[in-house]
Amino acid sequence: MALFSKPIAAIYVKELRKRFDPLTVPMFTPDTKISVGDFGTFEGGRFVRKGNVFARGVTAVVEEAETAGFDFATADGVTIGPSVTLPGGLLRATVSLKSERSVLVSLKPGREATVADADHFAEELKRLWLANELPRDRAVVWSVRYAQGGTVIASEQGDNAVDVSADSALLGPLGLTLPNLAVGVQFGTPRNAMWTLSQTDHELTVWIRLLRLEKGRVDDAFGFEPGSEQLAQAAGAAATEPVPVGELLAQLE
């Protein structure tokens, strides 16, 4: 797994949220393996997986759909220079990150996995929380978007640059463009420190959606017997809520 950096995580999440729904949480590092049903907590701005609710008796149908590729570059902050032919059938170009806190993301098509009935899933989760079978501070993944590989570059400093190279046979006539970086590249030595990832043999996690027990809606002293009338009544009075990306950003400040 790629090295986690809190400053880079803050840049990555803040930049990508400009393109994503506010209730989707961009995953940093994107090579983190996450599945529907995983539960965990945010610790220092990073989602730390603690387990999966399907191992605790929750049942749900998970549907999958194909997704298109995705690319993003910080506005007015990232440029890709012309492609230069190298020996061995490679093309090279210089990626320049002119402004501070810049991000480039180029991802292959992938898939989105989502519970088919989010309301039923939320009801099952409430019963786990209220029966003390799942700690109250755990958030649970109910939807995940994956990519079949791609390239990510992020820099805290401005006036930064790095050379990237790739097999010309994979790139086509347009050469090294933002969408084409998804095929996978090799990195040269950057001008200044930056965070880079290029992976083509494993899925990357683009974003996750999370549910948790709504804050302040359930008495702190709960621990109802599974299947009891008291649990059913308490579950009816409780509610779940999505976890907004702002909560993650607060930890990254």
N-term to C-term CA, the chain: 23
Residues of the chain with pLDDT > 90, as a percent, come to 59
Mean pLDDT of 77-94: 93
d(CA 140, CA 74): 30
pLDDT at 222: 34
Give which of 20, 4, 25, 1 is closest to 211, Cα–Cα. 25
pLDDT beyond 70 at 229: no
Mean pLDDT of 179-207: 95
pLDDT beyond 50 at 29: yes
For 13-22, 28-37, 176-185, which range has the lowest pLDDT when averaged over its residues? 13-22
pLDDT beyond 60 at 233: no
pLDDT beyond 70 at 65: yes
pLDDT at 97: 95
Mean pLDDT of 92-104: 95
Query: What sign has the CA pseudo-torsion 238, 243, 248, 249?
Result: negative
Please, where are the H alpha helices in the chain? 6-16, 118-130, 168-171, 229-237, 245-252
pLDDT at 228: 46
Residues of the chain with pLDDT > 70, as a percent, come to 84
Mean pLDDT of 187-214: 92
pLDDT at 196: 96
CB contact at 8 A, 129 and 101: no
- Radius of gyration over alpha carbons of the chain, in Å? 21
Mean pLDDT of 64-89: 94
Mean pLDDT for the chain overall: 86
- pTM for the whole structure: 0.85
Q: How confident is the model at residue 225 (pLDDT cuts 50, 70, 90)?
A: very low
pLDDT at 22: 78
Of the two residues 116 and 220, the one the predictor is more confident about is 116
d(CA 244, CA 253): 15
For 33-47, 132-146, 176-190, 212-226, which range has the lowest pLDDT when averaged over its residues? 212-226
How is residue 225 annotated by DSSP? P
CB atoms within 10 A of CB 253: 7
